[in-house]
Amino acid sequence: MLVDDDEAHLCAGDVIVQRGTNHAWANRRIEPCRITFVLFDPNSL
């Protein structure tokens, strides 16, 4: 995961919380990957 000017390596089972960051996704491996997104309306929390 690319966040602002930094890069974080994520493994299976990792959990992240993004809060209004500039970000991008890159799969650096040959195998395909799957990501699940759960989005919440901040006004409902």
Relative to beta strand 6-7, strand 2-3 is: antiparallel
Residue 41: domain span: 1-45
Query: What per-residue confidence (pLDDT) applies to 19?
Result: 76
* Structure tokens, 23: 């970000």
Beta bridge partners of 2: 7, 24
Per residue in 1-45, pLDDT (tens digit) is 777 778 888 888 888 887 777 888 888 889 998 888 888 887 876
Query: What per-residue confidence (pLDDT) applies to 32?
Result: 93
Query: What per-residue confidence (pLDDT) applies to 31?
Result: 92
Query: What per-residue confidence (pLDDT) applies to 45?
Result: 67
Q: How many domains, in total, are found in the chain?
A: 1
